[in-house]
Amino acid sequence: MKNLILSSLLILIASSISYAQGIKYPKNDTIKYIVKNDVLRFFGGTFWTGAEFPIGSRKSILVNGIATYGSSMGSPKENIGYGAELQYRNYLGKGSFQTNYPIYLASQFMFRRINSYEMTSTETLDPTSGTYSMLSNETKSSYNVYYFGVLIGCQVFVNQIFTVDVNFGGGLRLSQVDGETSFTRYRGISNLDYSGVIPRFGVTIGIIQH
């Protein structure tokens, strides 16, 4: 299974490099990096921030840190964890063509470590008094999450001050609970411990550093 994951990741990266000619950043020689924050992730109880570094006129690397600090909307579970994401981006275009709305293709790899807590209640009968009482118990599960996929997006440069980055794509997520030898099965796609093909959509705000 590990060899399959590695082979798939290499294929995704190779495809991105082969089909994306790239495009120059506007005034690329003045941009050192772009500090970014994925605003949609806040609604899932996660702080997702990092920086994009140009490594040439048509390519960049995006590195994000991930901190999970709460529950997703509608979920009874409290999730705490950390992780990291790496994107290798190719901006589309030919020659010296420049635009303030560059489109890119990206290969993506992500790792997350999650501790999930959930309170459960059990009703018990006291045989002496004949009354019922509720006993609360906290359960904990820990697991690793691996994800690799591809993205297509557009990054809009606004007055060389900030950017709005919109992207969508998909990939394969694999989750493994501590103590288990295989990846999870029969989880809902909205759960963090879901394993299977999953879509992705992101809106990121960036601050340009010259």
DSSP 98: B
The total of structural domains in the chain comes to 1
53 vs 72: CA distance, rounded Å: 30
Q: What is the CATH number of the domain that holds 27?
A: 2.40.160.20
Please check whether residue 110 is in contact with residue 85, taking contact to mean a CB–CB distance below 8 angstroms. Answer: yes
Residue pLDDT, tens place only, 43-52 = 778 899 999 9
In a domain, 158, yes or no: yes
CA distances from 93 to 26, 99, 198 (A): 13, 10, 28
Q: pTM to 2 decimals?
A: 0.78
- The answer to whether residue 128 is domain-embedded is no
Which pLDDT value is given to residue 62? 97
Domain that holds residue 187: 2-119+145-209
In a domain, residue 80? The reply is yes
* Pairwise CA distance, residues 158 & 103, whole Å: 15
Per-position pLDDT tens, the chain of length 210: 555 445 554 444 444 443 333 345 655 556 889 999 998 888 778 899 999 999 877 889 999 999 998 766 566 778 899 999 999 999 887 666 678 888 999 999 999 999 998 877 677 766 777 677 667 777 889 999 999 999 999 999 988 889 999 999 999 999 999 999 999 998 989 888 999 999 999 999 999 988
What is the model's pLDDT at position 77?
79
Sign of CA dihedral 22, 26, 27, 32: negative
**114: Cβ contacts below 8 Å, ≥ 6 apart:** 68, 79, 80, 81, 142, 143, 144, 145, 192, 193
- Rounded to whole angstroms, how far apart are CA atoms 146 and 176? 9
In a domain, 125, yes or no: no
